[in-house]
Structure 1
Amino acid sequence: MRRILLLAPALVLFAGCSPAAQVPGTPQPSPSSASSSAGLPPDPQPARTAECPYLSEAQAEDANGQHVTEVKVSDDQPHPACFFYRPDGGLQLTVRVYVGESATATALVDKAAPVDTSNPASEPAGWKGGYQPSDDGVVYAVAKGPAAVIVSSNQKQSIKARTVAKEAISALKL
């Protein structure tokens, strides 16, 4: 018994150095899913107070149904993301615009509103994507060619996020 107690720390040490064994039935991440999310641009972050180039405060208030007290934008250029805040300081609405590679635009939309779990979205005409509830409200994400627009709202009604997406798309000069 005493020998086992003396050897136990050595066995634990050696066990930590050995390669991890594959547990039968445990799926390994597929190379395609790992590389597709790794190749996406990082999520935008609010960097400074500024006007949103795609949506005015009044449009955001009308569409989302809440007063806007502050608007911040990300440092992403030439298409910054917009962050609209409500009176209590909480985030109520975000508008993310991406223009670049078609595959990346589609992947960003699929990340925000996965094809397998979201409802299909096809507004405005020619744009495709999805919408679904999120932890904090709803997301509406669509792409067309090399462009993607992703709107997150703290409201549960998808029509509000869809309205914002349509307003932002109409303001884009593509």
Structure 2
Amino acid sequence: MRRLVLLAPAVVLLAGCSATIVTGTAAPSPPSASTAAGAGSLPPDPQPGATEDCPYLGSEFVAESNGQHVSKVRVSADQPHPACFFYRPDGKIQLTVRVYVGDAKTATALVNKAAPLDSSNPASDPSGWKGGYLSSDDGAVYAVAKGSVAVIASTNQKQSVKARTVVKKAIAALKL
């Protein structure tokens, strides 16, 4: 579904071109998130860094909300709003929370990248925030933006309500 949607603009563009014979089997590359979003270049995905507490969420809250014991928390180098990575006992990431504060178009583009409009359900919780949520076999994501702020949670659990609970708590803890 996503590939079809990403290729739709290319098909429309090519429809106006004359026929050209192309040999080979190269697959077209999808447009970058920044191109698709119409915004400038998106910031790179945060990477786990130092082992320390998350400034928005406590490990106990995450364990209760996500239903798994938290064995370690790492934060990205992004300042003043690092992303938080919560690990389960087997060393795999169970939940990630990303906070972006900056340009409103970039905030919206990050939310649309995490929960694409064409494949996610609309989200509007907490009040005044807008975005989307979706679930898959790999887990769930809940992503919302308000003005120049975006908050995105990804969980290894299939229930998006878990990611939503975490996003709402992170938003409440933000000191903007």
The two structures have a TM-score, normalised by structure 2, of 0.80
- Give how far 1:35 is off: 7.7
Correspondence for 1:70:
72
Q: Which of 38, 48, 51 is matched with 1:49 structurally?
A: 51
The residue type paired with residue 101 of structure 2 is V
- Runs of 4+ in structure 1 off by over 2 angstroms are 26-38
Name the CA shift for 1:35/1:108 in 2 (closer, same or farther; >3 Å): closer
Give the length in aligned residue pairs: 153
Unaligned runs of 5+ in 1: 1-20
RMSD: 2.4
Q: Percent identity?
A: 68
Distance in 1, Cα, partners of 2:158 & 2:108: 24
Distance in 1, Cα, partners of 2:163 & 2:150: 14
Match runs of 1:24-173 below 5 Å = 33=35, 36=38, 39-134=41-136, 136-173=138-175
Unaligned runs of 5+ in 2: 1-19
- Give how far 1:22 is off: 6.8
Name the CA shift for 1:52/1:39 in 2 (closer, same or farther; >3 Å): same
Distance in 1, Cα, partners of 2:78 & 2:50: 11
Distance in 2, Cα, partners of 1:116 & 1:35: 13
- Give how far 1:71 is off: 0.2
Distance in 1, Cα, partners of 2:37 & 2:86: 32
Distance in 2, Cα, partners of 1:165 & 1:55: 9
Name the CA shift for 1:38/1:102 in 2 (closer, same or farther; >3 Å): closer
